[in-house]
Amino acid sequence: MGKLLEVERLQIAFRTDQGDVISVDEVSFDIKAGETVAIVGESGCGKSVTSLSLIGLLGKRGYVRQGESRFNGFSLTKASSAELRKLRGNEISMIFQDSMTSLNPVIPIGEQLEEPIRLHLHLSRQQAKAVALDMLRKVGIPRPEVISKEYPQTLSGGMRQRVMIAIALVCKPKLLIADEPTTALDVTIQAQIVQLMKQLQASDGTSILLVTHDLGVVAEMADKVVVMYAGQVVETADVFTLFRAPQHPYTQGLMRSIPHLNRDSSKRMDAIAGTVPSLQHMPTGCRYHPRCPHAVGRCREQRPALQNVGNEHLVRCWLPSESVPPTVKDSLAGHISGGAV
Ligand SMILES: Nc1ncnc2c1ncn2[C@@H]1O[C@H](COP(=O)(O)OP(=O)(O)OP(=O)(O)O)[C@@H](O)[C@H]1O
Ligand SMILES: [Mg+2]
């Protein structure tokens, strides 16, 4: 399978009053046609910045300082804003973290859906309307003729997210970037939205870059996982390897923090102790060492590079090891094959 998206040693910075800060550093991964790649990591690790950079939406202060991303061989990093505008909503589309702020409150949702159809598919108003209604039906919106005349704020969160998915997928993009597509929703609706994305992906062969901190959604949807910590990739592997044999202590910590059924629910979840470092005060050596239970002298002094520990499994650690307790592994195995969230 050919590579649809290639991200190569991407470094992204923001201009601030205190000088430039680097928020994403040397991030590399790729996505093949039809594949789903998930980026996971705690808040502030650079998931949204990485994905926004792909479609040129970093804002005035953000810029790609080094590295490159390519879509079907075409450099997104070097593309002009006009070229990126043409790709956005057409070949690459994005579901944003917050559906309330990304839908326009003063335009009925039907019209918001017709806009990309007319722009990218060059259809008449009448034809666009028919395609829009059909798409709303596909994403499970009841009575689309009525609902399409409604404004976003009159819809529930789940319905708004369905509308966002409809807008993102109506032009059959080759790549869908979904930034926390289910986080704002309750669990039943989450499961429905995950199902919906999987269905639409299966019928249209869309590749998905899924940004989330929900490992349940990752287990359900992803083929490959990229784990980020403090702006860097710390581990990447196919989803089975990552869940069954995570090697970076940070990934192992994330795995332990998943609540699961066969553990005493009165006990607290094993969240990772400590906090994410600020961009201005990155630790020396390995960025994770202040929180790492296994850190030794070398971890404090030298920056580890990503190393291949087998079969495209990369780990940025001086002491990679499989140290997840067997009980956690067993329950994760159930988690991933049973899909329980
Ligand atoms: N416009 C900006 N100016 C300066 N720094 C920024 C800007 N946007 C993001 N950052 C910084 O870049 C880092 C990465 O942010 P990003 O939004 O990508 O995190 P995230 O992984 O998506 O987190 P979350 O899970 O909370 O969505 C953060 O430290 C953030 O403060
Ligand atoms: Mg984010």
Q: What are all long-range contacts of 253-259, with beta carbons under 8 Å and residues at least 24 apart?
A: 253/291, 254/40, 254/41, 254/215, 254/227, 255/215, 255/324, 255/328, 255/332, 256/324, 256/328, 258/215, 258/216, 258/332, 258/335
Residues with Cβ within 8 Å of residue 340, at least 6 apart in sequence: 216, 261, 334
Residue nearest to atom 9 of ligand 1 (CA): 49
Determine the pLDDT at residue 318: 94
Is the model's pLDDT at 330 over the cut of 70?
Answer: no
Phi first, then psi: what are they for 47, rounded to 5°? -65, -50
**Ligand 2: distance of its center to the CA of 48 in Å?**
4
In a domain, 286, yes or no: yes
Q: Which is nearest to 250 in space by CA: 197, 316, 162, 339?
A: 316
**Ligand 2: distance of its center to the CA of 187 in Å?**
20
The closest ligand to the CA of 18 turns out to be 1
In a domain, 90, yes or no: no
Q: How far is CA 77 from CA 22, 62, 180, 214, in A?
A: 17, 12, 23, 29
Domain that holds residue 282: 228-337
Is the model's pLDDT at 265 over the cut of 70?
Answer: no
Q: Which is nearest to 286 in space by CA: 270, 272, 257, 306?
A: 306
In a domain, 20, yes or no: no
In a domain, 250, yes or no: yes
User: Residue 120 carries which side chain, given as an amino acid letter?
Assistant: H
In a domain, 310, yes or no: yes
What value, to the nearest 5°, has the Cα angle with vertex 16 and ends 11 and 22?
20
Residue nearest to atom 5 of ligand 1 (CA): 14
Contact 174, 201 (CB under 8 A): no
Mean pLDDT of the chain: 88
Q: Give residue ranges with CB within 6 A of ligand 1.
A: 14, 16, 23, 41, 43-49, 59, 61-62, 213, 279
Q: What's the rounded mean pLDDT across residues 16-43?
A: 95
In a domain, 268, yes or no: yes
Is the model's pLDDT at 175 over the cut of 90?
Answer: yes
Cα dihedral 164/4/190/23 (nearest 10): -90
Determine the pLDDT at residue 31: 97
pTM value > 0.85: yes
The closest ligand to the CA of 51 turns out to be 1
Which tokens belong to 101? 């702020």
Q: Which residue has the higher pLDDT, 272 or 143?
A: 143
Q: How far apart are the first and last CA of the chain?
A: 30
Determine the pLDDT at residue 323: 56
Contact 166, 140 (CB under 8 A): no
Residue nearest to atom 14 of ligand 1 (CA): 46
Which tokens belong to 316? 């940025």
**Ligand 1: distance of its center to the CA of 30 in Å?**
21
Q: What SS3 class is residue 17?
A: coil
Q: Which is nearest to 286 in space by CA: 301, 271, 266, 275?
A: 301
Q: What's the rounded mean pLDDT across residues 34-41?
A: 96
Q: In this structure, how many other beta carbons lie within 10 angstroms of the beta carbon of residue 84?
A: 16
What is the chain's Cα-based Rg? 21
- Helix and strand tally (H, E) in the chain? 13, 12
In a domain, 266, yes or no: yes
Q: What's the rounded mean pLDDT across residues 231-248?
A: 96
Residue nearest to atom 4 of ligand 1 (CA): 14
Cα dihedral 118/149/147/139 (nearest 10): 10
The predicted-structure confidence for 278-320, as pLDDT tens digits, reads as follows: 988 899 999 999 999 999 999 999 999 999 998 899 999 998 8
Which tokens belong to 93? 């589309």
The strand ranges marked E within 183-260 are 207-211, 224-229, 232-238
Residue 51: pLDDT band with limits 50, 70, 90: very high
Determine the pLDDT at residue 339: 37
In a domain, 89, yes or no: no
Domain count, the chain: 1
Q: What's the rounded mean pLDDT across residues 51-67?
A: 95
- Please, what is the angle between helix 326-338 and helix 249-256, to 10°? 70
The predicted-structure confidence for 87-123, as pLDDT tens digits, reads as follows: 988 899 998 877 677 899 999 999 999 998 998 888 8
